[in-house]
Structure 1
Amino acid sequence: MAFAAILAELQAEASCPICLGYLKDPVTTHCGHNFCRSCIHQRWEDLRDIFPCPVCLHHCPQETLRSNTQFRHVTDMVQQLPAMRRKRKRQQEEPLSGKHWQRLSLFCEKDLELLCPQ
């Protein structure tokens, strides 16, 4: 699988299925799905006895919600990946001189081409 696809899948796993943002204070339901604590409480706010999982509709007793601190740490790391990836992508996209392998940062108006400082 290509790096971009793996990164997209990892970002999706670290996202709340309700708000679609990165998980904040993630909790895991009895059926194993993860949500932001505030999102799942808001979704179940007006319910009394039956608390269906928003993903699979499995009955989840509200008191079985468990904090998932390990997933919180993973989500924190995933949130840092896009910034690192953009930086690396930007470095990869910058044209380099074939002769000196330096970034082409100067423009020759006479020849209409990019040049490296060398």
Structure 2
Amino acid sequence: MYIGQAAKQTGLSIKAIRLYEAWGLIEPPARQGRYRIYSPADIRLLLLIKEAKALGIKLAQLRHLLEQGDKHAQSDAVQTFLLGIKADFLRQISELEHKVTQLDACIVGLASCESQLLS
């Protein structure tokens, strides 16, 4: 498919797709004359990049992962990296849940102080 179709299918701008090519995040697609032709694999990679950006992953981190040897090594590196991100998110959730528990205790403590002051 042409770049315009790839942009529509992924929700990315044409400019972003060209930037990802220039930065080496995706390999330059095959050309038909002067038109870029994107494969289903290119679309999947563009969607992965879009999703990773939405999660706050830096493009430089992705580029490093995608420079790993063959496609299988790249896939393993990306999967390992994403599992690390997931573990970090779960740790952050746990920390936030602990803080919420502390806040609840503080709120209960304030409520009991208020009732003692009012009696």
Do these two structures clear the TM 0.5 threshold for a shared fold by scoring above it?
A: no
Q: Which one has a larger percent strand, Structure 1 or Structure 2?
A: 1
Give TM-score scaled by structure 2 length. 0.31
Q: Which one has a larger percent helix, Structure 1 or Structure 2?
A: 2
Give TM-score scaled by structure 1 length. 0.31
